[in-house]
């Protein structure tokens, strides 16, 4: 039995309609994919450069992309909970179980880091930068210093 393999014809690339592409791309991003991965899921796959130019030149698309990025961070945070709650396979023991746990830790850490960068106010480190007001009297400090000098003499 002979099967024909369809080859992509050489020549002019397919015309990509942004109105058809972006809803799919944004949906993939909101589901946890990076932009480059979301683009590769399409057929024909638009180039990363094409996508970046589209994002730079279209303010409405920029807003939708930012919303998809926030959704991606939330998806990654949900994935962390699912990974943390996952039970190890019953057949693993010893070194294999340890390797499975290390792989799980790596996956959790990668999602934590990415979520913290995509939505730092929600998933980032909380840094306390509170300032306490303390009034300092320069004249009183000079008077104390003068008194110390007099006491030494």
Whole-number pLDDT of residue 4: 40
When comparing pLDDT for 45 and 33, which is higher?
Answer: 33
Dist. CA 29–CA 53, nearest whole Å? 17
CB 118 within 8 A of CB 73: yes
The SS3 assignment for 17 reads coil
Question: What sign does the CA torsion over 26, 31, 35, 40 have?
Answer: negative
Dist. CA 125–CA 120, nearest whole Å? 7
Give the pTM: 0.66
Checking if the pLDDT of 1 tops 60, the result is no
């Amino acid at each position: 039995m002979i099967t024909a393999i369809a080859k992509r014809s050489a020549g002019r690339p397919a015309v990509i309609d942004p109105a058809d592409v972006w809803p799919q791309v944004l949906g993939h991003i909101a589901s946890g994919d990076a932009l480059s991965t979301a683009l590769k899921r399409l057929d024909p796959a638009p180039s990363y450069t094409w996508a970046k130019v589209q994002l730079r030149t279209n303010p409405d698309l920029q807003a939708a992309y930012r919303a998809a990025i926030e959704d991606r961070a939330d998806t990654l945070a949900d994935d962390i909970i699912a990974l943390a709650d996952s039970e190890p396979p019953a057949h693993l023991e010893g070194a294999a179980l340890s390797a499975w746990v290390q792989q799980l830790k790596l996956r959790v850490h990668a999602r934590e880091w990415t979520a913290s960068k995509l939505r730092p106010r929600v998933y980032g480190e909380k840094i306390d930068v509170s300032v306490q007001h303390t009034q300092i009297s320069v004249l009183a400090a000079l008077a104390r210093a003068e008194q110390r000098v007099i006491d030494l003499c």
